[in-house]
Amino acid sequence: MTTPNAPMPTGEWTGQGFRMPGEWASHSGCWMAWPCRPETWPEGAFDAACDAYAEVAQAISRFEPVTMVCDPADVAEASLACGPGIQILPLPISDSWIRDTGPSFVVDGKGGLAGVHWGFNAWGGNYEGSDKDQQVGRLILDHLKLPCMSAPLVMEGGSFHVDGEGTLITTEQCLLNPNRNPGLSREEIEQNLKDHLGVETVIWLGQGYQDDETDGHIDEIALFVRPGVVMAITTDDPGDPNFKIFQDNLDRLKRARDAKGRELEVITIQQPARRDVNGVRLTLSYTNLYIANGGIVMPAFEDPADDEAFRVVRKAFPDREVVQIAALDIVRGGGGIHCITQQQPLP
Protein backbone atom coordinates (compact mmCIF):
# COMPACT_ATOMS: atom_id res chain seq x y z
CA MET A 1 0.00 0.00 0.00
CA THR A 2 1.49 3.31 -1.01
CA THR A 3 1.62 6.29 1.30
CA PRO A 4 -0.09 9.46 0.04
CA ASN A 5 1.69 12.76 0.40
CA ALA A 6 0.37 14.53 3.48
CA PRO A 7 0.94 18.31 3.59
CA MET A 8 1.93 18.29 7.24
CA PRO A 9 4.74 16.99 9.46
CA THR A 10 4.63 13.56 11.01
CA GLY A 11 4.35 13.12 14.77
CA GLU A 12 1.59 14.26 17.13
CA TRP A 13 -1.00 16.74 15.92
CA THR A 14 -4.22 18.23 17.28
CA GLY A 15 -6.71 16.84 14.77
CA GLN A 16 -8.29 20.21 14.03
CA GLY A 17 -9.92 20.30 10.59
CA PHE A 18 -9.90 16.51 10.16
CA ARG A 19 -12.80 14.09 9.93
CA MET A 20 -13.25 10.36 9.48
CA PRO A 21 -14.93 9.54 6.15
CA GLY A 22 -17.75 7.03 5.81
CA GLU A 23 -16.49 3.55 5.06
CA TRP A 24 -17.90 3.74 1.51
CA ALA A 25 -15.53 6.60 0.60
CA SER A 26 -12.70 5.64 -1.76
CA HIS A 27 -9.86 3.70 -0.15
CA SER A 28 -6.17 3.50 -0.90
CA GLY A 29 -6.25 0.08 0.73
CA CYS A 30 -7.22 -2.21 3.58
CA TRP A 31 -5.28 -3.24 6.69
CA MET A 32 -5.51 -6.64 8.37
CA ALA A 33 -3.48 -8.51 11.02
CA TRP A 34 -2.50 -12.18 10.85
CA PRO A 35 -3.72 -14.46 13.69
CA CYS A 36 -0.96 -15.05 16.24
CA ARG A 37 -2.82 -16.09 19.40
CA PRO A 38 -4.10 -19.69 19.12
CA GLU A 39 -5.77 -19.55 22.55
CA THR A 40 -8.23 -16.97 21.17
CA TRP A 41 -9.96 -19.80 19.31
CA PRO A 42 -11.49 -23.05 20.59
CA GLU A 43 -9.13 -26.00 20.62
CA GLY A 44 -8.36 -27.18 17.11
CA ALA A 45 -9.90 -24.13 15.38
CA PHE A 46 -6.83 -21.94 14.89
CA ASP A 47 -5.67 -23.29 11.52
CA ALA A 48 -9.15 -22.90 10.07
CA ALA A 49 -9.25 -19.32 11.36
CA CYS A 50 -5.98 -18.54 9.59
CA ASP A 51 -7.39 -19.96 6.36
CA ALA A 52 -10.48 -17.77 6.77
CA TYR A 53 -8.38 -14.65 7.30
CA ALA A 54 -6.47 -15.43 4.12
CA GLU A 55 -9.74 -15.91 2.23
CA VAL A 56 -11.03 -12.52 3.42
CA ALA A 57 -7.75 -10.86 2.41
CA GLN A 58 -7.89 -12.42 -1.04
CA ALA A 59 -11.53 -11.40 -1.50
CA ILE A 60 -10.84 -7.78 -0.56
CA SER A 61 -7.72 -7.68 -2.76
CA ARG A 62 -9.99 -8.03 -5.79
CA PHE A 63 -11.19 -4.50 -5.03
CA GLU A 64 -8.27 -2.74 -3.32
CA PRO A 65 -4.74 -3.40 -2.01
CA VAL A 66 -4.45 -5.31 1.26
CA THR A 67 -1.60 -5.06 3.76
CA MET A 68 -1.39 -7.84 6.35
CA VAL A 69 0.38 -6.86 9.57
CA CYS A 70 2.13 -9.94 10.84
CA ASP A 71 4.20 -10.89 13.84
CA PRO A 72 7.78 -11.30 12.60
CA ALA A 73 7.76 -14.98 13.60
CA ASP A 74 4.80 -15.68 11.29
CA VAL A 75 5.91 -13.95 8.09
CA ALA A 76 6.60 -17.13 6.12
CA GLU A 77 3.30 -18.74 7.16
CA ALA A 78 1.24 -15.63 6.38
CA SER A 79 2.97 -15.07 3.04
CA LEU A 80 2.31 -18.64 1.95
CA ALA A 81 -1.33 -18.60 3.06
CA CYS A 82 -2.21 -15.19 1.64
CA GLY A 83 -0.37 -15.47 -1.66
CA PRO A 84 1.63 -12.95 -3.67
CA GLY A 85 -1.20 -10.41 -3.98
CA ILE A 86 -1.14 -9.48 -0.27
CA GLN A 87 1.58 -7.23 1.15
CA ILE A 88 3.03 -8.51 4.44
CA LEU A 89 4.25 -5.98 7.01
CA PRO A 90 6.17 -7.45 9.99
CA LEU A 91 5.24 -5.67 13.23
CA PRO A 92 4.97 -6.91 16.83
CA ILE A 93 1.30 -7.72 17.56
CA SER A 94 -0.55 -9.46 20.38
CA ASP A 95 -3.74 -10.38 18.50
CA SER A 96 -5.43 -10.04 15.12
CA TRP A 97 -8.39 -7.63 15.46
CA ILE A 98 -6.97 -4.66 13.57
CA ARG A 99 -10.27 -2.76 13.59
CA ASP A 100 -9.87 -2.37 17.33
CA THR A 101 -6.11 -1.97 17.63
CA GLY A 102 -5.17 -0.15 14.44
CA PRO A 103 -5.48 3.57 13.73
CA SER A 104 -8.69 5.30 12.69
CA PHE A 105 -7.73 7.22 9.56
CA VAL A 106 -8.97 10.80 9.12
CA VAL A 107 -8.74 13.30 6.25
CA ASP A 108 -8.83 17.09 5.98
CA GLY A 109 -10.34 17.41 2.50
CA LYS A 110 -7.18 19.14 1.25
CA GLY A 111 -5.03 16.09 0.55
CA GLY A 112 -4.06 15.49 4.16
CA LEU A 113 -4.29 12.06 5.80
CA ALA A 114 -3.56 11.22 9.43
CA GLY A 115 -4.54 8.70 12.09
CA VAL A 116 -6.12 8.59 15.53
CA HIS A 117 -4.45 6.20 17.97
CA TRP A 118 -6.87 5.08 20.70
CA GLY A 119 -5.98 3.72 24.10
CA PHE A 120 -6.43 -0.05 24.19
CA ASN A 121 -6.96 -2.28 27.24
CA ALA A 122 -8.06 -5.55 25.59
CA TRP A 123 -11.79 -4.85 25.59
CA GLY A 124 -12.08 -3.75 29.17
CA GLY A 125 -9.39 -6.08 30.49
CA ASN A 126 -10.72 -9.32 29.03
CA TYR A 127 -7.25 -10.52 28.06
CA GLU A 128 -3.73 -10.27 29.41
CA GLY A 129 -0.66 -9.70 27.27
CA SER A 130 -2.01 -6.97 25.00
CA ASP A 131 1.02 -4.71 25.35
CA LYS A 132 2.05 -5.03 21.70
CA ASP A 133 -1.45 -4.17 20.49
CA GLN A 134 -1.35 -1.00 22.57
CA GLN A 135 1.26 0.31 20.12
CA VAL A 136 0.33 -1.20 16.75
CA GLY A 137 -1.76 1.79 15.66
CA ARG A 138 1.13 4.15 16.20
CA LEU A 139 3.55 1.76 14.45
CA ILE A 140 1.33 1.60 11.36
CA LEU A 141 1.21 5.40 11.20
CA ASP A 142 4.99 5.57 11.68
CA HIS A 143 5.40 3.10 8.81
CA LEU A 144 3.19 5.26 6.60
CA LYS A 145 4.97 8.43 7.78
CA LEU A 146 1.61 9.91 8.75
CA PRO A 147 0.76 12.21 11.66
CA CYS A 148 -0.66 10.53 14.74
CA MET A 149 -3.04 11.95 17.32
CA SER A 150 -3.12 9.92 20.54
CA ALA A 151 -6.65 10.18 21.90
CA PRO A 152 -7.23 10.25 25.68
CA LEU A 153 -9.91 7.57 25.33
CA VAL A 154 -9.76 3.82 25.82
CA MET A 155 -11.91 2.48 23.00
CA GLU A 156 -11.85 0.33 19.90
CA GLY A 157 -12.54 0.99 16.23
CA GLY A 158 -15.39 -1.52 16.20
CA SER A 159 -17.29 0.50 18.80
CA PHE A 160 -18.40 3.25 16.42
CA HIS A 161 -19.52 3.97 12.87
CA VAL A 162 -19.53 7.37 11.15
CA ASP A 163 -21.42 8.70 8.14
CA GLY A 164 -18.68 11.08 6.99
CA GLU A 165 -21.10 14.01 7.31
CA GLY A 166 -20.87 14.65 11.03
CA THR A 167 -22.79 11.76 12.61
CA LEU A 168 -21.49 8.88 14.73
CA ILE A 169 -23.38 5.90 16.17
CA THR A 170 -22.20 3.87 19.14
CA THR A 171 -23.58 2.05 22.18
CA GLU A 172 -23.90 3.05 25.80
CA GLN A 173 -22.93 -0.47 26.84
CA CYS A 174 -19.46 -0.07 25.36
CA LEU A 175 -18.39 3.57 25.48
CA LEU A 176 -19.98 4.32 28.85
CA ASN A 177 -18.69 1.09 30.38
CA PRO A 178 -16.61 1.76 33.53
CA ASN A 179 -14.05 -0.79 32.30
CA ARG A 180 -12.98 1.67 29.56
CA ASN A 181 -13.06 5.29 30.77
CA PRO A 182 -14.38 5.33 34.36
CA GLY A 183 -13.41 8.95 34.98
CA LEU A 184 -15.21 10.42 31.97
CA SER A 185 -18.85 11.46 31.65
CA ARG A 186 -21.04 10.88 28.60
CA GLU A 187 -20.56 14.54 27.66
CA GLU A 188 -16.78 14.30 27.94
CA ILE A 189 -16.68 11.15 25.82
CA GLU A 190 -18.89 12.81 23.21
CA GLN A 191 -16.59 15.82 23.08
CA ASN A 192 -13.56 13.59 22.57
CA LEU A 193 -15.31 11.84 19.68
CA LYS A 194 -16.14 15.20 18.13
CA ASP A 195 -12.59 16.48 18.58
CA HIS A 196 -10.85 13.41 17.17
CA LEU A 197 -13.22 12.23 14.42
CA GLY A 198 -14.70 15.51 13.25
CA VAL A 199 -18.29 14.59 14.12
CA GLU A 200 -21.02 16.88 15.42
CA THR A 201 -23.77 14.47 16.50
CA VAL A 202 -23.47 11.24 18.50
CA ILE A 203 -26.39 8.81 18.34
CA TRP A 204 -26.39 6.48 21.34
CA LEU A 205 -27.87 3.01 21.00
CA GLY A 206 -28.33 0.95 24.15
CA GLN A 207 -26.87 -2.53 24.30
CA GLY A 208 -25.18 -4.76 21.81
CA TYR A 209 -25.39 -8.44 20.95
CA GLN A 210 -25.90 -10.92 23.79
CA ASP A 211 -22.60 -12.39 25.02
CA ASP A 212 -20.52 -10.00 22.90
CA GLU A 213 -17.23 -9.99 24.79
CA THR A 214 -16.45 -6.52 23.44
CA ASP A 215 -19.30 -5.09 25.56
CA GLY A 216 -21.62 -4.20 22.72
CA HIS A 217 -19.60 -3.10 19.71
CA ILE A 218 -21.75 -1.25 17.19
CA ASP A 219 -20.40 -3.23 14.22
CA GLU A 220 -22.25 -6.32 15.46
CA ILE A 221 -25.63 -4.55 15.39
CA ALA A 222 -25.63 -1.64 12.92
CA LEU A 223 -23.73 0.25 10.23
CA PHE A 224 -24.16 3.29 8.04
CA VAL A 225 -24.95 2.31 4.46
CA ARG A 226 -24.67 5.93 3.33
CA PRO A 227 -25.49 9.28 4.93
CA GLY A 228 -28.99 9.13 6.37
CA VAL A 229 -29.31 5.35 5.99
CA VAL A 230 -28.51 2.74 8.65
CA MET A 231 -28.69 -1.05 8.45
CA ALA A 232 -29.58 -2.65 11.79
CA ILE A 233 -29.83 -6.25 12.87
CA THR A 234 -33.12 -7.56 14.23
CA THR A 235 -34.98 -10.74 15.13
CA ASP A 236 -38.65 -11.67 14.91
CA ASP A 237 -38.36 -14.13 17.80
CA PRO A 238 -39.68 -12.52 21.01
CA GLY A 239 -38.15 -15.39 22.99
CA ASP A 240 -34.64 -14.50 21.87
CA PRO A 241 -32.65 -12.56 24.50
CA ASN A 242 -31.62 -10.16 21.73
CA PHE A 243 -35.22 -9.30 20.82
CA LYS A 244 -35.73 -6.47 23.32
CA ILE A 245 -32.18 -5.21 22.78
CA PHE A 246 -32.68 -4.94 19.04
CA GLN A 247 -36.15 -3.39 19.38
CA ASP A 248 -34.80 -0.72 21.70
CA ASN A 249 -32.01 0.07 19.26
CA LEU A 250 -34.46 0.28 16.35
CA ASP A 251 -36.64 2.66 18.35
CA ARG A 252 -33.64 4.87 19.10
CA LEU A 253 -32.60 4.95 15.45
CA LYS A 254 -36.09 5.86 14.30
CA ARG A 255 -36.28 8.72 16.81
CA ALA A 256 -32.80 10.01 16.03
CA ARG A 257 -31.77 12.90 13.82
CA ASP A 258 -28.36 13.07 12.23
CA ALA A 259 -26.00 16.04 12.06
CA LYS A 260 -27.87 17.36 9.01
CA GLY A 261 -31.21 17.17 10.84
CA ARG A 262 -32.42 14.18 8.82
CA GLU A 263 -34.53 11.31 10.06
CA LEU A 264 -32.70 8.04 9.49
CA GLU A 265 -33.90 5.46 7.02
CA VAL A 266 -33.46 2.10 8.77
CA ILE A 267 -32.91 -1.11 6.80
CA THR A 268 -33.38 -4.22 8.93
CA ILE A 269 -31.54 -7.49 8.48
CA GLN A 270 -32.38 -10.67 10.39
CA GLN A 271 -29.86 -12.31 12.68
CA PRO A 272 -29.03 -15.96 11.92
CA ALA A 273 -29.95 -18.84 14.21
CA ARG A 274 -28.23 -19.10 17.55
CA ARG A 275 -24.99 -21.08 17.84
CA ASP A 276 -23.05 -21.63 21.05
CA VAL A 277 -19.42 -22.55 21.71
CA ASN A 278 -18.63 -23.83 25.20
CA GLY A 279 -21.97 -22.49 26.42
CA VAL A 280 -21.41 -18.97 25.07
CA ARG A 281 -23.45 -17.55 22.21
CA LEU A 282 -21.49 -16.62 19.10
CA THR A 283 -21.99 -13.07 17.85
CA LEU A 284 -23.22 -13.98 14.39
CA SER A 285 -24.07 -10.77 12.59
CA TYR A 286 -24.48 -9.81 8.96
CA THR A 287 -23.73 -6.16 9.75
CA ASN A 288 -20.15 -7.16 10.52
CA LEU A 289 -18.97 -6.67 6.94
CA TYR A 290 -16.35 -4.75 4.97
CA ILE A 291 -17.15 -2.05 2.41
CA ALA A 292 -14.43 -2.07 -0.26
CA ASN A 293 -13.89 -0.04 -3.43
CA GLY A 294 -16.70 -1.31 -5.61
CA GLY A 295 -17.41 -4.32 -3.41
CA ILE A 296 -18.81 -5.69 -0.17
CA VAL A 297 -17.25 -8.64 1.64
CA MET A 298 -19.87 -10.04 4.01
CA PRO A 299 -20.19 -13.17 6.16
CA ALA A 300 -22.03 -16.43 5.66
CA PHE A 301 -22.74 -18.72 8.61
CA GLU A 302 -23.99 -21.98 7.07
CA ASP A 303 -27.46 -20.75 8.00
CA PRO A 304 -30.73 -20.56 6.03
CA ALA A 305 -30.73 -16.80 6.66
CA ASP A 306 -27.51 -16.37 4.64
CA ASP A 307 -29.31 -16.06 1.29
CA GLU A 308 -31.81 -13.45 2.46
CA ALA A 309 -29.01 -11.48 4.14
CA PHE A 310 -27.12 -11.49 0.85
CA ARG A 311 -30.17 -10.09 -0.93
CA VAL A 312 -30.66 -7.36 1.69
CA VAL A 313 -27.03 -6.27 1.45
CA ARG A 314 -26.99 -6.37 -2.35
CA LYS A 315 -30.13 -4.19 -2.46
CA ALA A 316 -28.61 -1.75 0.04
CA PHE A 317 -25.39 -1.45 -2.01
CA PRO A 318 -26.63 -1.71 -5.62
CA ASP A 319 -23.43 -0.29 -7.12
CA ARG A 320 -21.11 -2.78 -5.42
CA GLU A 321 -20.38 -6.44 -6.02
CA VAL A 322 -21.29 -8.47 -2.93
CA VAL A 323 -19.02 -11.38 -2.02
CA GLN A 324 -20.04 -13.75 0.77
CA ILE A 325 -17.31 -15.51 2.76
CA ALA A 326 -17.74 -18.42 5.19
CA ALA A 327 -17.02 -16.66 8.48
CA LEU A 328 -17.79 -19.11 11.28
CA ASP A 329 -14.10 -19.86 11.75
CA ILE A 330 -13.45 -16.14 12.34
CA VAL A 331 -16.42 -15.60 14.65
CA ARG A 332 -15.37 -18.49 16.89
CA GLY A 333 -12.49 -16.23 17.93
CA GLY A 334 -14.81 -13.42 19.01
CA GLY A 335 -15.21 -11.13 15.99
CA GLY A 336 -16.18 -10.85 12.34
CA ILE A 337 -15.05 -9.53 8.98
CA HIS A 338 -15.35 -5.87 10.00
CA CYS A 339 -13.36 -6.63 13.17
CA ILE A 340 -10.38 -7.99 11.23
CA THR A 341 -10.18 -5.14 8.70
CA GLN A 342 -9.48 -1.40 8.73
CA GLN A 343 -9.91 0.84 5.70
CA GLN A 344 -7.36 3.48 4.75
CA PRO A 345 -9.22 6.24 2.88
CA LEU A 346 -7.82 8.24 0.04
CA PRO A 347 -6.87 11.70 1.34
Task: Give the span between the Cα atoms of 261 and 247, in whole angstroms.
Answer: 23
What does the alpha-carbon distance between residue 114 and residue 204 come to, in Å, rounded to a whole number?
26
- Contact (CB, 8 A) for 64 and 30: yes
Other residues' Cβ atoms within 10 Å of the Cβ of residue 131: 11
Reduced to 3 states, what is the DSSP secondary structure of residue 229?
A: strand
3-state SS track over 67-118: EEEECHHHHHHHHHHHCCCCEEEECCCCCCCHHHHCCEEEECCCCCEEEEEE
Catalytic-residue membership of 339: yes
Say which residues have a Cβ less than 8 Å from residue 234's Cβ, sequence separation at least 6. 246, 247, 250, 268, 269, 270, 271
Distance CA 345, CA 337 (A): 18
- How many whole angstroms separate alpha carbon 206 and alpha carbon 291? 25
Q: Which of 319, 320, 287, 284 is nearest to 304 (CA)?
A: 284
Measured distance between the N- and C-terminal CA atoms of the chain, rounded to whole angstroms: 14
Residues identified as active-site: 339
